[in-house]
């Protein structure tokens, strides 16, 4: 298989090129199926941690420098979306109900003691995280609602009654979301107070999907409220446009927090496009997204030495160019597993869009543009060749990002939050739940035999 050969070649390069990365040098990229199974396994291990209340999703088992042994609404909601799409394929969702029950309780706790549904973190027993923190974070309710709506639909399809609690929890998050568009809060990286593209686009997806869900449930006044907020939110999102480069600016109207994010470039823009359903006008082919991702790839190729150390692989991707958080202190930013995997997912999903629909099932390892083109009439050749070439290019690029992740993940694939910008070794909170979820998604997107719809809605 080609990509195994490539990694072997890289291993040789890494020794003779003056770099020596012992763990990295032995890596062989396993199959995409195997990556999905392995990352799901690690997520389940975190969900089954012995010291937590069932349903809590620890960000990581790390309890010291840094202490990530808490339940973040965002990490939990995003990961559970991956988990239920995996479990639903086996016609049962053992992880869903405990998480949903944990979240109902958390919603009530947040009302009684916190800032409301925008409370970002809970302790693993469900109590409020009482330390000073960047509050509120308004992406949480939108993410939680979107995952719950998906779980709700899955349960119905499995012939099970989703229950009144779940319905009530979804309605509460949707209502909160409708009332907090255009509302100041902290970003997903918990550093800056303002209006954030990530938060806004997830709110947009929640308003859209939520309107349809509320209507279906006969919740007409909720549906009307959600619909009425769509216009203003779209205007707000469009305010993030950086017009000279036709790309997105991560934060506008900043009122507090760190002032070092000069470029406005941030991988969270891409995350928002990737997670949950695609919702017009924010499709993955959006040139404003393409420009944002291209600039991120270019910047990160320059600033992280580990990118250049493996020049045949695409760059290692971090959160944003000015980042200084090293996973515990502030010695300098590093590439993140979840960010690098996301760029891989992006390219592979673009590849799928360029494949003619009747070729979606083909196996790219046996891909040959020439053999396919030969079977077409001469008139069809031109446009089809162009889109196949584009598909081929994007798929190869996406898979190369997965290779990049695997190279730094280590052979056991037990990823942390970051990997060191110079040595390439794992750094920051170990066994980070969100890293597994992100790599799972990339492996699914890059496997053309995998039906993606369950992950992108
Ligand atoms: C912890 C946050 O979770 C992380 O995203 C942030 O960079 C640091 N604190 C610094 O504020
Ligand atoms: C720091 C990240 O910046 C934030 O997005 C995340 O929620 C927490 N770590 C927990 O993983």
pLDDT by 10s per residue, the chain, length 457: 334 333 433 333 333 232 333 344 445 678 999 999 999 999 999 999 999 999 999 999 999 999 999 999 999 999 999 999 999 999 999 999 999 999 999 999 999 988 999 999 999 999 999 999 999 999 999 999 999 999 999 999 999 999 999 999 999 999 999 999 999 999 999 999 999 999 999 999 999 999 999 999 999 999 999 999 999 999 999 999 999 999 999 999 999 999 999 999 999 999 999 999 999 999 999 999 999 999 999 999 999 999 999 999 999 999 999 999 999 999 999 999 999 999 999 999 999 999 876 454 444 444 444 444 444 444 455 567 888 999 999 999 999 999 999 999 999 999 999 999 999 999 999 999 999 999 999 999 999 999 998 888 7
Instruction: Characterize 324-353 residue by residue with b for buried, 16 or more Cβ atoms within 10 angstroms of its Cβ, and e for exposed.
Output: ebbbbeeeebbbbbbbbbbbbbbbbbbbbe
CA of 89 to the centre of ligand 1 (A): 35
Considering the entire predicted model, what is its pTM? 0.91
Instruction: Characterize 159-182 residue by residue with b for buried, 16 or more Cβ atoms within 10 angstroms of its Cβ, and e for exposed.
Output: eeebeeebeebbbbbbbbbbebbe
- DSSP count for the chain of H helices, then E strands: 17, 9
Distance between start and end Cα atoms, the chain: 32
Nearest residue (by CA) to ligand 2, atom 5, is 189
Cβ(188) to ligand 2 under 6 A?
A: yes
Q: Which of 281, 215, 205, 226 is nearest to 248 (CA)?
A: 281
From the CA of 190, give the closest atom in ligand 2.
3
Substitution site in 58, 191, 326 for ligand 1 pocket (most atoms within 8 Å of beta carbon): 191
What's the CA angle centered on 364, arms 362 and 369, to 5 degrees?
90
Residue pair 382/366 in contact by the 8 Å Cβ criterion? no
Substitution site in 190, 259, 327 for ligand 1 pocket (most atoms within 8 Å of beta carbon): 190
Helix, strand, coil shares of the chain as percentages rounded to 5? 55, 5, 40
CA of 300 to the centre of ligand 1 (A): 20
Nearest residue (by CA) to ligand 1, atom 1, is 190
From the CA of 325, give the closest atom in ligand 1.
7
Cβ(74) to ligand 2 under 6 A?
A: yes
């Amino acid at each position: 298989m080609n990509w195994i050969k490539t990694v072997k070649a890289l291993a040789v390069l890494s020794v003779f090129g003056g770099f020596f990365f012992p763990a990295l040098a032995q890596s062989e990229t396993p199959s995409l199926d195997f990556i999905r199974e392995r990352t799901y396994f690690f997520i389940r291990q975190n969900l089954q941690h012995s010291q937590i209340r069932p349903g809590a999703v620890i960000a990581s088992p790390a309890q010291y420098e840094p202490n990530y042994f808490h339940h973040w609404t965002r990490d939990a909601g995003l990961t559970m979306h991956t988990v239920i799409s995996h479990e639903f394929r086996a016609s049962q969702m053992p992880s869903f109900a405990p998480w949903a029950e944990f979240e109902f309780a958390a919603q009530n706790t947040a009302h009684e003691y916190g800032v409301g549904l925008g409370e970002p973190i809970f302790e693993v027993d469900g109590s409020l995280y009482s330390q000073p923190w960047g509050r509120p974070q308004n992406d949480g309710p939108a993410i939680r609602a979107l995952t719950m709506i998906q779980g709700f639909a899955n349960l119905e399809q499995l012939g099970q009654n989703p229950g009144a609690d779940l319905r009530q929890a979804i309605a509460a998050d949707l209502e909160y979301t409708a009332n907090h568009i255009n509302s100041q809060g902290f970003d997903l990286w918990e550093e800056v107070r303002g209006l954030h593209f990530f938060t806004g686009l997830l709110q947009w997806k929640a308003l859209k999907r939520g309107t349809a869900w509320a209507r279906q449930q006969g919740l007409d006044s909720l549906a009307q409220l959600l619909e009425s907020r769509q216009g203003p939110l779209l205007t707000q999102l469009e305010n993030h446009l950086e017009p000279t480069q036709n790309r997105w600016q991560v934060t506008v109207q900043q009122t507090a927090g760190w002032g070092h994010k000069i470029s406005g470039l941030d991988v969270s823009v891409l995350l928002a496009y990737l997670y949950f359903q695609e919702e017009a006008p924010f499709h993955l082919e959006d040139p404003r997204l393409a420009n944002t991702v291209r600039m991120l790839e270019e910047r990160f190729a320059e600033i992280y030495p580990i990118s250049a150390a493996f020049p045949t692989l695409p760059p290692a991707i971090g959160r944003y160019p000015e980042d200084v958080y090293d996973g515990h202190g502030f010695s300098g930013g590093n590439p993140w597993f979840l960010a690098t995997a996301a760029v891989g997912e992006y390219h592979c999903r673009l590849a799928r869009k360029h494949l003619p629909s009747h070729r979606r099932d083909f196996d790219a390892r046996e891909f040959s543009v020439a053999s396919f083109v030969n079977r077409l009439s001469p008139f069809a050749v031109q446009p089809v060749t162009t889109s196949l070439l584009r598909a081929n290019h994007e798929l190869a690029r996406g898979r190369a990002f997965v290779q990049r992740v695997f190279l730094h993940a280590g052979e056991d694939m037990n990823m942390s939050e970051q990997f060191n910008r110079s040595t390439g070794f794992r750094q920051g909170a170990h066994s980070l739940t969100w890293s597994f979820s992100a790599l799972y998604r990339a492996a699914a997107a890059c496997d053309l035999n995998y039906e993606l719809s369950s992950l992108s809605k």
